[in-house]
Structure 1
Amino acid sequence: MQIGIPLETVAGETRVAATPETVKKLVGQGHTLLVQHGAGLRAGITDAQFEAAGASLTDAATALGSEMVLKVRSPQAEELAQIRSGAVLVGMLDPFDAEGLQRLAAAGLTSFALEAAPRTTRAQSMDVLSSQANIAGYKAVMLAAEHYPRFFPMLMTAAGTVKAARVVILGVGVAGLQAIATAKRLGAVIEASDVRPSVKEQVESLGAKFIDVPYETDEEREAAEGVGGYARPMPQSWLDRQKAEVAKRVAAADVVITTALIPGRAAPTLVTAEMVQSMRQGSVIVDMAAGKGPQGHDGNTPLTQADQVVQADGVTIVGHTNLAARVGADASALYARNVLDFLKLVLPAEKGLTIDMEDDIVAACLMTQNGETRRK
């Protein structure tokens, strides 16, 4: 199959959907790889490296006009116009963007959104949400260290002792766990909170203290146990006590990193304006939900401005919306491997495109086909 790798055109996007490593493997399987000139430069990959891996260099129209197009972000209008009807599109297409999916369907594309892959053991190697969140969690801490006007680790010098930074991480998914690990390496004192009490062990294993909220009723204890390995929603009584406890820790924090995102819904408010006012001058908040909050431009705090670094009551609030793209080389390497593993399901050896709807991963990722959207 002819597979095109175009240059990503979204502002600030540095990632590319294939690397020389994955191109070489796809060429070895008999596919023709057409890479747009300069597609990998922002990820530290030269055209010569793609050529050495077996790809042919071409222009945007040719790459986008291939039988299959691999992208990082959903195509913009000018890109979509150049993708042929009947082509296959694979990328992070935002399965909750109904209008965007309808445009792909109207263009006659068979499209797969990799974010929709089920969170199962079999799908781990193609889990783009985890691979990119892992990088974002790391970068969030590095940005916090950059904006924080003091050291992260405790230092004992001839001029006196410098206290370690106190870091509070709200939300302990993939990004939050990586943020804990990174802040720990930098020598910070870390506390973490999550609505799922079941993650306490993971938090403590990384060297952080879990902000524990005791259970007061049987209902709370039962909810905390979860079902089938998944936590159940906690009762409002427990959530109210947790919020009060978190507010105390935020007030004492030097750095707060918020990671709470809910696919298809507005990000919850974790740090209120009042909490920001309670923080010390020079403190830093890195809001990883920037641009996804109730107002559209905010995030886990209402004072966040998407893609901006702002000051509020002496607190620096970092609202970059694409943290993974700030580590373009490694983000591309991991994403390209995710894509390659997914392609094994729809491009089996010595066969053309195969869409097996009995395969739970393929069925979940298929967004549009035959002019219709399949997302329910």
Structure 2
Amino acid sequence: MAARLHVPVVLFMALAAAVGTSTIYPMQPAIADVADSLDTRIADVGFALACGPVGYLVGLGLLVPLVDRWAPGRVLAVQFGVLACALAAGAAAGSVAALGVVLGVIGACSAVGAGLSSVASRLADPGRRATVLGMVTAGISVGILAGRIVGGWLADALGWRAMLLVFAAVCGALAACCVVVLPTVAGAAAERGYFSTLRSLPGLFVHHVTLRVAALRGFLWFFAFCAVWAGIAVALSEPPYSYSAERIGLYALAGLSGIAATRIAGARTDRDGARRVILVGLVLAGAAAVVMAFGLANPPVTLVCLAVFDAGLFAAQVANQSTALAIEPSAPARFNSAYMMVYFVGGSLGTAFGAAAVDRFGWSITTLIAATAIGLAATSTAR
């Protein structure tokens, strides 16, 4: 099975993970344009956009386990096909309610990135599992960053409806490629019923302490990650900075360091083990958060700290996730599904907390709280 994952296949998986993950983000920069087009309030469009993350959580639970039950090439081709249709339907939406439903479907199918990482873990050679996982995770990281950047650029250039059609066309092309490029090897879960697999997800946390610890660590640092990025957008938009949305968005480019970190972290995990990589990543991210708490007025310092912060957390994520997926190497998707659901809940809470906490407590306290969450994750690793 490992022979099927040649480098070009892994690179395609990383690209597909980037595109699939990105589809949940491109409408965020265009929220005001969408509200004007649909003749509704920005707050209403905000509620519609919130359907995307909710759908993503559903996709993690219901769709990701499918790649271990049936041929991943066919499963992911169908998901990309549905994603393309949903994006096209979003471009034609005439009301905010219809848009919310469509975004829920888009969110669910955007979980293809988690499905691809499960496939990568199952079919990679055991000695290169974390390296391959790091490459696919790098794609997911690109999608998280590029979705907003590319979406905003296309929306400005073509309008938000045409922007969605561009994403739909790319997803349609990837659906066709998945059938040809991705492996057709079903996992051990093919012998287990689908609903039995779903029912087994909560029990995984009861029976596997490795999964519990990994999920808790991921919850804590993704909470911190999202709190910092949501908080900095609020802090920079208010006096004394009052930056434009475009200028604030440029800060996200510092996160590109995390893409290189995932590749390096995967190789180091295969060589040195996950624990050391996790600890180094968390120490770097925690230190960067502390410096950022008092250095926001200095853009170069902030950008360097954001780069180190993202690189540390993305490196820790690759190593940590590899420990969860290695519990049952022949069928890792349900473990990935369980892990990512907890991870994503942490991120959702962090986003809500970061935006509100900066208004109430200020940037410094918000960032120090995020650093504390990272410290707790490091403590659980050092034991």
TM-score by length of 1: 0.25
- Pick the structure with greater CA Rg: 1
TM-score under structure 2 length normalisation: 0.25
Q: Whose RCO is larger (CA < 8 A, sep 6+)? A: 2
Identify, as 1 or 2, the structure richer in helix.
2
